[in-house]
Structure 1
Amino acid sequence: MTGSPFLALPGAVVGDPPDEGVAAHYGNPMVEQRRLEQGRAIVDLSDRGVLTVTGPDRRSWLNSMASRSLDHLQPGQSAEALFLDAAGHVEHAVHVVDDGERTWLVLEGGAAPALAAWLDRMRFMLRVEVADVTADHAVVAAMPSGDGFPVALPEGSLTWTDPWRRVLDDGYAYAPESGHAGATWRLVEAIVPRTALPGLVAAVRRGEVEVAGALALEALRIAAWRPRFATEVDERTLPHELDWLRSAVDLNKGCYRGQETVAKVVNLGRPPRRLVMLHLDGSDTILPRPGDAVVGMKQRPEPAPGEEPERRVVGAITSAAMHHELGPIALAVVKRSVPADLELIVESHGIDVAAAQVEIVPAGAAPAVAVPRLPRLGIRP
């Protein structure tokens, strides 16, 4: 797969991992954020992976493995689903749309070969075929202000609408719906033939549509509290920790790998870690890097004169960006026990960056089912 034609546009700067295959920006990320937010721009996501599943058993087969109900997916209908390991950890996240003949899965580009190989091993005797079509199909995205994409798409294109803005009927949310930052999130991804990309670039050059880079999309995503597989997920991630049950998990669906853990944590437990958004002190113009330590500053009840607060690493930055209105912001995964009012700093580039915490998954997230305490044996009323 050759470099994206969008990189030939004036001012294009190649992105850093995980977006190294597309433009990070075209000269002014802040202006590009506004263009994207106003529905005037498209974003090149041609580094994403695209898989197809064909065959009469495709939807029931995917349904048996995925966290979302896919067996009744109608042509053109969008869904998001996770594939979990036996312990409930997130292994893959996919954006799903069916065209009536095949089911399309969009995911991070580097993850496509592994998921395709795993799905192929799981076919058994069912009438399904899995294909990695990344070399032939690409993804572009926009945030339309109304109906339709901001530029004409080639014939045969499919669009996927992100469900993050509201809780699914059979989903579950830890974050309160009132005032949720994702309520205005309206991302649409279009799957197009890769041969159509030069035509979309030509439309940008003619002024028919504007363009925004990956940094603009990342800033708006972080502000919407929207998790991304390439940044927020590690080998221990449970979907509950990222509030991902709101858009990608059907709690009334059983019989998929990891389902027992999903149900147990929702009904009886608490997420061991939790996603937060951080408002960062921008006075040093420092933007943290993924993996930078988030440190809690705990003052003793009666500190001795001159005693410094106790410093403890309580989490790590997963993604960060400069937002056109909010300034420097970040998503971080922290320990469940971190109080909402604890003073936090981020250790980045050799300095301390003050951080104000906004809860996404609350520190006090409780089980959905209240289990009554049983009386101790031998005790009589």
Structure 2
Amino acid sequence: MRVSAPPSPLLATAGAVPGPDDTPDSTVAWHYGDPLGEQRTAEHDVGLVDRSHRSVLTITGAERLTWLHTLISQHVADLADGQSAESLLLDANGRVEQHFVLTELAGTSWLDTEAETGPALLDYLRKMVFWADAQPAAADYAVLTLLGPRAATVLAAVGLDPLPAASYAAVSLADGFVRRMPWPTAHAYDLIVPRARLAEWWQRLIAAGARPVGSWAFAALRVTALRPRLGSDTDDRTIPHEVGWIGAAAQGGAVHLDKGCYRGQETVARVHNLGKPPRRLVLLHLDGSADERPEPGTPVVAGGRAVGRLGTVVDHYELGPIALALVKRSIDPTTALTAGPAAVAIDPDSVSAEELPQAGRAAVDRLRGTGR
């Protein structure tokens, strides 16, 4: 059964249209009457997105970071005050179960994640405390996101100065914090504020010059940035390598390759050193003339054979209909593909060049006499 946040009070904003039913964004504004124009605003001016449907957790206690470090995929044991990192929880086979952003600030570790997965994440953390001095709890806080090159100007106008200068840096508010993010645009700031003051903060930021922007715009910019969303662009077989989540916090990754034991580490190390992931995340361009738009989860087909699945499907103000998709790594980017009623094509710029041979694979090849 879908777990979702209650409807946002900001849906009372003039022009707000809620997200489609049975989607993760059904409880916040999908747009405010001009979804394509809102994307331009978020990319070239300053837009404010209601992301209050995210689940926010806190962890307190003197051992919170060293304890959390043993459970998750990112290196956080020495995360400094005012720093953030993306991270994952993996299952025993290295498949992604949870994705969240972690911020360490003033003696508390803050985690924000999807509404659907927040309760399960909290339940898992509580079960794993044992004797550690760490206290995970739900927090009645909400997320707002400012996007665009004038975002810093708006934040300064409401008295938030100095602002975090580097990606994943955070500074405290009177109650909450503001965090700079490297996506979905180059100028992105998350505000984590008390849910009881959500409307107050919204009005302050709008009065300072931000324009309301829906989750449609956020999704479109996220897709072009090749940033997957847990549950929308992943499935129960997804491993981190397939969706670009490998890397240290400073690199924008969610899996540190040089940290010690955590659940699923064996798969991460094996794929990194010896093999390639079976699938990869790509940007697809969809034929806009099709009678119907394919839904997320629709198989991507080549020559009558399923070779992948659609994730987020959205209209972009410049690129038209686009989607993220997980497709088999063996598929040539020039292959003719379909998804439901629509012809689709892989954007070649979304396919990274193949990496150099892994150290482990090179060693095996040398032992077999096949390496150079």
Give TM class, smaller chain: 0.7 to 0.9
Give ranges in structure 2 of 5+ residues lacking alignment: 161-172, 248-252
TM-score, normalised by the number of residues in structure 1: 0.83
* Cα deviations by residue, 1:287-344 (Å, 9 ceiling, x for unpaired): 32101121113xxxxxxxxxxxxx2111111111111111111100111221222111
- RMSD (CA atoms): 2.2
The 3 A distance-change label for structure 1 pair 146 and 56 is: farther
Tell me the percent identity. Answer: 42
Matched, 1:28 2:34: yes
Matched, 1:292 2:298: yes
Mapped to 1, the partners of 2:269 and 2:350 lie a distance apart of 20
Equivalent residue of 2:116, what SS? helix
On the 8 A contact 2:104/2:110 being kept in 1, the answer is: yes
Alignment of 1:95-244 (within 5 A): 95-133=101-139, 136-145=140-149, 148=152, 150-151=154-155, 152=158, 155-163=174-182, 185-203=186-204, 206=207, 208-244=209-245
Per the TM alignment, residue 7 of structure 1 is displaced from its structure 2 partner at its CA by: 0.3
Who is 2:17 aligned against? Answer: 13
Matched, 1:355 2:345: yes
Per the TM alignment, residue 56 of structure 1 is displaced from its structure 2 partner at its CA by: 0.2
Matched, 1:51 2:57: yes
Kindly name which structure, 1 or 2, has the bigger radius of gyration based on alpha carbons.
1
Tell me which amino acid in the other structure corresponds to 1:283: S
Alignment of 1:356-371 (within 5 A): 356-358=346-348, 360=350, 362=352, 364=354, 367-369=357-359, 370-371=362-363
Equivalent residue of 1:47, what SS? coil
Equivalent residue of 1:61, what SS? helix
Per the TM alignment, residue 374 of structure 1 is displaced from its structure 2 partner at its CA by: 3.3
Equivalent residue of 1:95, what SS? strand
Who is 1:262 aligned against? Answer: 268
On the 8 A contact 1:7/1:13 being kept in 2, the answer is: yes
Mapped to 1, the partners of 2:197 and 2:328 lie a distance apart of 45
Matched, 1:86 2:92: yes
Mapped to 2, the partners of 1:220 and 1:42 lie a distance apart of 14
The 3 A distance-change label for structure 1 pair 89 and 197 is: same
Tell me which amino acid in the other structure corresponds to 1:251: L
On the 8 A contact 1:18/1:230 being kept in 2, the answer is: no
Matched, 1:333 2:334: no
Give ranges in structure 1 of 5+ residues lacking alignment: 165-181, 298-310, 377-381
On the 8 A contact 1:76/1:158 being kept in 2, the answer is: no
Per the TM alignment, residue 155 of structure 1 is displaced from its structure 2 partner at its CA by: 2.3
Equivalent residue of 1:148, what SS? helix
On the 8 A contact 1:336/1:363 being kept in 2, the answer is: no
Mapped to 1, the partners of 2:349 and 2:275 lie a distance apart of 19
Equivalent residue of 2:337, what SS? strand
TM-score, normalised by the number of residues in structure 2: 0.85
Equivalent residue of 2:178, what SS? strand
Pairing partner for 1:346 from 311, 314, 339: 339
Equivalent pairs counted in the alignment come to 340
